[in-house]
Chain A
Amino acid sequence: MIPASFDYRRAASADEAIALLTENGDDAKLLAGGHSLLPLMKLRLARPSVLIDISRLADLSYIRADGDQIAIGALTRHHDVEVSELLAREVPLLPAAAGQVGDPQIRHRGTIGGSLAHGDPASDLPAVVLALGGSMVVRGPGGERSIPATEFFAGFMETALAADEVLTEIRVPRLEGAGWSFQKFNRRAHDWAIVGVAAVRRGAGSGANGGGAGVALVNMASTPVRATAVEEALAGGASATEAAAHAADGLDPPSDINATPEFRRHLAQVLVRRALEEAGA
């Protein structure tokens, strides 16, 4: 299978990519690693008439400390996140999850920004950035703005990115010794999570990053979603087991070949409990 025809434009800078997006509107898509977009294009589920290749923008591939946060360029590959010593030290949840995305070949091409901008509720990294309380830095014709992860995932494979905006950076707080866990349940190696859980547990009121827990779920709704009922139960003093019972509260998980909604609710409760225990509830 090959994709339908398109015009290929290679952007030499983020600003040029924005100009090309502005010029071409909804008919254009950005191409980073291509590991979410190209499969859709081959199946004709996506059919952009203009493909704007940003994968060569080396200045959008970096991982660096910035105050009490870590800044990650949107074009940083999963492999680079996986092996980053800075992240292993400061935000170990992120490389642990990035190392479970797809397989080594996919991690050599796929990017963190691509994964987040794709907004697939079944992918791992959106839940991680949600649990961490991260934010997205996006740039458009009018300049730069920051979108909290909690406001970024707008609908099924839809984000708060405007048609003429480029995601340039992901910012996550340093974990400062907080407990964390990433649970991914699937039946076969390399598969998407049937359900996944990213969890962070900070001591009450700890430091600049705020206290409390962050818990987010993979493949439990039409968007990557925070398990707010679990977070509230923990804040109210519930144990891991008690809090985990609320894992699927208010959620309408999808039904597919791998699982019924009922099975997904069960999985979410079990995996949240495991995650909270591993994170040190």
Chain B
Amino acid sequence: MKVAMTINGTSQQHEIEPRVLLVQFIREVAGLTGTNVGCDTTSCGTCTVLLDGESVKSCTILAVQADGAQITTIEGLAEPGTLHPMQEAFRENHALQCGFCTPGMVLAAVSLLQENAHPSEQEVRSALEGNLCRCTGYHNIVKAILAAADAAEVPA
């Protein structure tokens, strides 16, 4: 069936099978491979994207369910060649090691600050419960998110 959504401001209209997952649509149909697939079971959060501004796990949504939605992936957070303040905070605070979980972490963090602009450290840690970092680099990820919250308003 025909599915149309906007990914990072660009309209994507494609004929797909209803069983295609949103993450497949993003990676394989739209060709945006910044969104990683980790566990594929709604656990690790690596495939997190923003759907109409809110963090979701794109491995557990059918692309047809996102028909008409606005999707933001890691590629769409900032203009090419620039960094979103959350990406900047991750870089400043060494909040990544292997980097595999990073796109999901950054988008989960952006969604968090939209709901809670000035979270406590505990609130940040709770909000990341759906994002796993197997390098176990959580400490600097939390630091980066708190720094981004301190620094400024974080735009979507």
Tell me whether A53 is interfacial, beta carbon within 8 Å: yes
Please state if B129 and A190 are interface contacts (CB–CB under 8 Å): yes
In the docked arrangement, what's the CA distance between A80 and B19, Å? 27
A109 CB contact (under 8 Å) in B20, B56, B111, B127: B56
Asked whether A108 and B19 contact (CB < 8 A) given A1-B40, A34-B61, A190-B43, the answer is: no
Please state if A53 and B65 are interface contacts (CB–CB under 8 Å): yes
- Taking CB atoms and an 8 Å cut-off, the chain A residues in 79-104 that contact chain B are 79, 83, 102-104
- Taking CB atoms and an 8 Å cut-off, the chain A residues in 4-34 that contact chain B are 4-8, 10, 31, 34
- Taking CB atoms and an 8 Å cut-off, the chain B residues in 44-69 that contact chain A are 45, 48, 51, 54-57, 60-62, 64-65
In the docked arrangement, what's the CA distance between A108 and B51, Å? 9
Chain B residue with Cβ nearest A7: B18
A103 CB contact (under 8 Å) in B24, B45, B65, B115: B45
A-B contact count (CB 8 A): 76
Tell me whether A42 is interfacial, beta carbon within 8 Å: yes
Q: Quote the shortest CB–CB distance from B6 to chain A (angstroms).
A: 17
Chain B residues with CB under 8 Å of A2's CB are 19-21, 24
Tell me whether B130 is interfacial, beta carbon within 8 Å: yes
A104 CB contact (under 8 Å) in B21, B40, B108: B108
In the docked arrangement, what's the CA distance between A20 and B36, Å? 36
Please state if B65 and A55 are interface contacts (CB–CB under 8 Å): yes
Please state if A103 and B18 are interface contacts (CB–CB under 8 Å): no
Q: Quote the shortest CB–CB distance from A90 to chain B (angstroms).
A: 22
Chain A residues with CB under 8 Å of B19's CB are 2-6
In the docked arrangement, what's the CA distance between A281 and B10, Å? 58
Interface string of A38-58 (1 = CB under 8 A from B): 110010000000010101000
Q: Quote the shortest CB–CB distance from B43 to chain A (angstroms).
A: 7
Number of interface residues of A (CB under 8 A): 29
Chain A residues with CB under 8 Å of B1's CB are 8
Q: Quote the shortest CB–CB distance from B42 to chain A (angstroms).
A: 6
Q: Quote the shortest CB–CB distance from B141 to chain A (angstroms).
A: 14
In the docked arrangement, what's the CA distance between A1 and B39, Å? 10
Where the two chains meet, the residues of A that have a C-beta atom closer than 8 Å to any C-beta of B are 1-8, 10, 31, 34-35, 38-39, 42, 51, 53, 55, 79, 83, 102-106, 108-109, 189-190
Listed by A's residue number, 16 A-B pairs whose Cβ atoms lie within 8 Å are A2-B21, A34-B61, A34-B65, A38-B60, A53-B64, A103-B130, A104-B55, A104-B108, A105-B45, A105-B56, A106-B57, A108-B51, A109-B57, A109-B60, A190-B43, A190-B130
9 nearest CB pairs, A to B: A103-B130, A8-B18, A189-B129, A108-B54, A190-B129, A105-B57, A103-B129, A3-B19, A105-B55
